[in-house]
Structure 1
């Protein structure tokens, strides 16, 4: 199936667009099949579906802006869900494996791989190691692709094999070195790589590393690959392995685009607080959002029964787009609402 070149105006009349373009109607049905396949595999693997709220009283802990709104009758303020991870991280204190498969709303600049509103699978499970998580994600994606398309080799990507690779190897390759640098040397090398290509590199170390990984590391991955064991600077909220100094985090990359990201998470509020406080300061610096009291209810719940918890989030439209060789915009339902 080939992508249509420019049907922006037509797609605003979405029902008519589908009626007049049977191939585009098939995209909607394929997405329904993909959602069904994801749910089926998760249920059969012992996950329970838990619907996280779209309207959240507290900001999520990532250093990002969230859409906000107010109750039209009471004036109460809410933030629109960016990810269900923190809600599921709280529920998994009591229920061992949970997932949310629902819309997410993000303050993104829409392009071929980003959307403001999209469908996201978010999971959380107790007592799963990083190695087990890599196997789990590979099995889920391969089963969903096979169930939806009848084959692991699709128009856009071949999922017959999902490679597994330490991210240090990919970083060293991108920098043309025999091994990946660490700490301040890594940030400096990443900044130089971006500078040499006239890419944004004058911002915070966190932004430098995020942009470097997106452009230099992910952009070079052509076949489905799980990158794992991230350097400390890219740990996010994943636990650092004391033996290796590497964060127990992973990303699934397909055609240069991140489809899924996850890892073994921090255990207690004492672990989370320094990360959340640093993120709030960065959020204030980058987006002018005042520092607040933080997610007190989240802290209380994770401390109720600390455990090793593996979470991952998967963009459904990104996976579908990768399979079909299309952009995310072309596989969104009601792309212009």
Structure 2
């Protein structure tokens, strides 16, 4: 059923007049309760992180910025809670934030500017054990909220398979083995060009677009992709034996609903990436260079550890489970 935007703007009236929309709101609430229940049962502590951040995050992305109307202080709106949680996990073994994220993205059926994000951090958890945690969380949440793992939207979460990104890339390129390094980036750029899709300027942007359109779009049943190429390492540690990033992504019906991995340990590990990302922000988005997240770097050096983090988009999961769009699952979609 298509509901005109002017009706969706009157959100309370919409829920009153359309029982299905009210049921969707209640389903989302059930799912959120199930997420929190699983996290508490598994030893995670909830910790709210700030929306207004004094420092930019280290990712190569633009953030919404604002200033205090009285003091003139500058702030950046939270893109992710990960760096604040990494600071907390120095002292508390497992922490999570379940709140708003605000991103400078173009809104579409699977993206929103403001949405609900679960972000976690846990000490002394391997990538394999972390993937198990994510799988258990998703299955418990869906079973609790819907009473079944075969969701109303048609996705069956009874089995969540695992697959290496190399295998998925090789399949997308119709090769027996995935290329690596510069050869992989060249092949990815060519694939995007052949399919008349735009390719970013940086190797990172090219690989992001390639994985989204060539790899993720081909996924039908729930799959955890792991072992990412070096170009898509983000802030994940590199496995010394395979040369692959200890990062994972949970995909279902062509949509990424969860991403994370085993993170870099100490400030010296992060600094080269942070400097590269600051330069990318300046070149690609005209964001002035800064000193980087100094408090974050100081805190993680207090007690370096193996830390597994993951982020889960709540509206994306609700949309996937109900056969709706992300926009339709937003509470007050027009704010």
Name the TM-score, length of structure 1 as normaliser.
0.98
DSSP 3-state at the match of 1:59: coil
DSSP 3-state at the match of 1:122: strand
Partner of 1:84: 81
The alpha-carbon deviation at position 252 of structure 1 amounts to 0.4
- Write the distance in 2 (CA, Å) between the matches of 1:233 and 1:194: 16
Aligned partner of 2:284 among 278, 283, 286: 286
- Write the distance in 1 (CA, Å) between the matches of 2:176 and 2:235: 28
Equivalent residues of 2:225, 2:251 under 8 A apart: yes
Partner of 1:232: 230
The answer to whether residue 321 in structure 2 is matched with residue 329 in structure 1 is: no
Aligned partner of 1:60 among 50, 57, 61: 57
The answer to whether residue 10 in structure 2 is matched with residue 13 in structure 1 is: yes
Query: 1:53-132, aligned counterparts within 5 Å?
Result: 53-132=50-129
DSSP 3-state at the match of 2:131: helix
Runs of 5+ in structure 2 lacking a partner?
none
Equivalent residues of 2:200, 2:209 under 8 A apart: no
Runs of 5+ in structure 1 lacking a partner?
none
Question: Structure 1, residues 29-55: CA drift from partner, whole Å, max 9, x if none?
Answer: 001001000000000000000000000
DSSP 3-state at the match of 2:31: helix
Q: CA RMSD in A?
A: 0.7
The alpha-carbon deviation at position 202 of structure 1 amounts to 5.4
Question: Structure 1, residues 153-185: CA drift from partner, whole Å, max 9, x if none?
Answer: 012211010011111100000000001100000
The answer to whether residue 250 in structure 2 is matched with residue 255 in structure 1 is: no
Name the TM-score, length of structure 2 as normaliser.
0.99
Partner of 2:202: 204
- Write the distance in 1 (CA, Å) between the matches of 2:244 and 2:76: 32
Partner of 2:43: 46
Question: Structure 1, residues 235-293: CA drift from partner, whole Å, max 9, x if none?
Answer: 00000000110000000001101000000000000000000100111111110001111
Partner of 1:28: 25
DSSP 3-state at the match of 2:125: coil
- Write the distance in 2 (CA, Å) between the matches of 1:7 and 1:146: 32
DSSP 3-state at the match of 1:37: helix
- Write the distance in 1 (CA, Å) between the matches of 2:163 and 2:6: 43
The alpha-carbon deviation at position 203 of structure 1 amounts to 1.8
DSSP 3-state at the match of 2:300: helix
Structure 1's consecutive aligned runs of 4 or more residues displaced over 2 angstroms after TM superposition are: none
- Write the distance in 1 (CA, Å) between the matches of 2:10 and 2:2: 17
The alpha-carbon deviation at position 7 of structure 1 amounts to 2.5
Partner of 2:171: 173
Partner of 2:315: 317
Partner of 1:297: 295
- Write the distance in 1 (CA, Å) between the matches of 2:281 and 2:290: 11
Partner of 1:216: 214
